Amino acid sequence: MSGEALGATAARREQARGSFAGGFSWAMARDLRLAWRHPDEAVLTVAFFALVASLFPLGIGAEPQLLVRIGPGVIWVAALLAAFLALPGLFAADYVDGSLEQMTLSPHPALGWAAGKIAAHWIVSGLPLTLLSPLIGLQYGLAPDTLAIQALSLLVGTPVLSLLGGACAALALGARGGGMLLALLALPLFVPVLIFGAGAAEAQATGLSPAPHLSLLAAGLIAALVGLPWAVGAAVKIAVD
């Protein structure tokens, strides 16, 4: 048997056994395809973020100093609410049509496909908000260096929101009043991310170093990456049993 045939056979055996990489790539690609075919939820998330962040200058006036002071916090609050808006669809549709049950029965470990679904959620919701944030920040008169720190804080912080939100969405699966339960679980957990994310841009705008805030965000991201996909997989298995 040739080397290529042996490699293909080994790959098929590995796929049959299941692996983290296989489950991650399969779940992420699947959810991204679904988001591409049905982009309404992603468009709604981005539109909500842009509208909420853009309404504040119209409501409070155009005083430059005030806009610069509140801009980072408003942008972060709008991003947090937009990310929360996309959370109910993370597992709900798959739970209703039985796809989650099939995932739990697949050879891939729950850690892999849970992480893949969360990564797809961030690509569809968190990444567009991060890319759009400098344009929104121009409405508040933020300096270029502040806009860069704002985008960097969102780049580090929005994955934490997706991981925390994914764990809360998994815990709320199948519960009566799941939307209210999800809000009660997720929003308090989002507060530290909001504080450190907005604090980084505010520190830059006032001439202080944003490094402490960004370091705490990065530490939170590492802790979330290590622990939360396990919790999501376990919560989903409990919900479908």
Q: What is the DSSP letter of 123?
A: I
Q: Which two tokens stand for residue 97?
A: 């049509």
Q: What is the DSSP letter of 142?
A: -
Span 15-24, pLDDT tens digits: 445 677 888 8
pTM: 0.85
Match 């690509």 to its residue by tokens: 123
Structural domain spans, the chain: 20-240
Per-residue pLDDT at 178: 65
pLDDT band per the 50, 70, 90 thresholds, residue 139: confident
Among the ranges given (30-39, 86-95, 119-128, 158-167), the one the predictor scored with the smallest mean pLDDT: 86-95
Q: Terminus-to-terminus CA distance in the chain, angstroms?
A: 44
Per-residue pLDDT at 177: 61
Please give the mean pLDDT across all residues of the chain.
84
Q: Show the DSSP H helices in the chain as ranges.
A: 3-17, 20-37, 40-60, 64-85, 92-97, 99-105, 110-121, 127-138, 144-171, 178-205, 211-240
Span 149-201, pLDDT tens digits: 999 999 999 999 999 998 888 888 766 666 778 888 888 899 999 999 999 99
With contact defined as beta carbons under 8 Å apart, do 111 and 20 qualify? Answer: yes
With contact defined as beta carbons under 8 Å apart, do 179 and 88 qualify? Answer: yes
